[in-house]
Amino acid sequence: MKFKRQGLIVILLGLFVFLFLSLGVKSQFEASKKSVQEVQFMVGKDRTLQAIIGDLSYYGFIKNESAFKFALRYAKDSTPGNENSIHIGDNTLDRLAVYKISQSLNAWQLAEALLNDGEFQDCSHGCPPGSFYPALLPGGELKPSEYEWVETYEDCVKAKGQLSSEQYSQRTGKPRKCVTPNGREFTQGEEGWEPAVGG
């Protein structure tokens, strides 16, 4: 009777330890935040896997670097990769590519996005500075833009935004447009803004 009781205690204790470890490991693969804006993540031609993982960790996209490396190695990779890809086991992560990611992706979803969803970025005239657009603060909050004060077409012109041609406007009868460096497009004579095409 005494051995049965000790056996039952050992089994229950083992089950408790198993559940505790299982839940602890599972949490390392969960998304770092629940609902956040999607951002563009640029992987330049000289980026290393360690630098990419370091950035994703520093900016709050992954909870555990080792768990994320595991996900990169074993997630489904359905694209062949380009000649300059980073190899992780049999999987490949393309360099010179832009990825749309979010902190609401878990480690597996983020790994699959990086393995499969890159869009080639031609950097023959130089790649944009930084890895994230819009820019982020450590921990992943959006960095305030120096162009937040721009609220109208006229403000955009003062901020030296990119203007559409006056000749085109006269020829087509369409109002002029102004795009701020942070990707907001203002239309002459209209209120508000919308995201610039390609921004």
- What confidence category does residue 23 fall into, taking pLDDT thresholds of 50, 70 and 90? very low
**Does 96 reside within a domain?**
yes
Residues 164, 127 within the same domain = no
The average pLDDT across 36-47 equals 86
The average pLDDT across 134-159 equals 82
pLDDT digits (tens, 9 = 90+) for 101-146: 999 999 999 999 999 999 988 776 666 666 887 778 787 777 777 7
Q: Can you give the residue range of the structural domain that contains 176?
A: 153-195
> Tokens for 150?
């721009």
CA separation for the pair 184, 51 (Å, rounded): 30
The average pLDDT across 65-74 equals 95
Residues 52, 127 within the same domain = yes
Answer yes or no: is pLDDT of 197 > 50. Answer: yes
Residues 46, 114 within the same domain = yes
The average pLDDT across 25-54 equals 78
Residues 115, 181 within the same domain = no
The answer to whether 101 and 62 are in contact (CB under 8 A) is no
Question: What is the reported pTM?
Answer: 0.60
Residues 117, 70 within the same domain = yes
> Tokens for 84?
């300059």
- What confidence category does residue 17 fall into, taking pLDDT thresholds of 50, 70 and 90? very low
The average pLDDT across 43-59 equals 92
**Does 13 reside within a domain?**
no
List the single range of 80-94, 97-111, 140-154, 180-194 with lowest mean pLDDT: 140-154
Query: Which pLDDT score, from 0 to 100, does residue 184 have?
Result: 85
Residues 88, 159 within the same domain = no
Residues 120, 163 within the same domain = no
Query: Which pLDDT score, from 0 to 100, does residue 19 have?
Result: 43
Answer yes or no: is pLDDT of 20 > 70. Answer: no
- Structural domains in the chain (count): 2
Residues 129, 157 within the same domain = no
Query: Which pLDDT score, from 0 to 100, does residue 58 have?
Result: 92
**Does 6 reside within a domain?**
no
CA separation for the pair 198, 109 (Å, rounded): 24
**Does 61 reside within a domain?**
yes
CA separation for the pair 21, 168 (Å, rounded): 65
Residues 185, 123 within the same domain = no
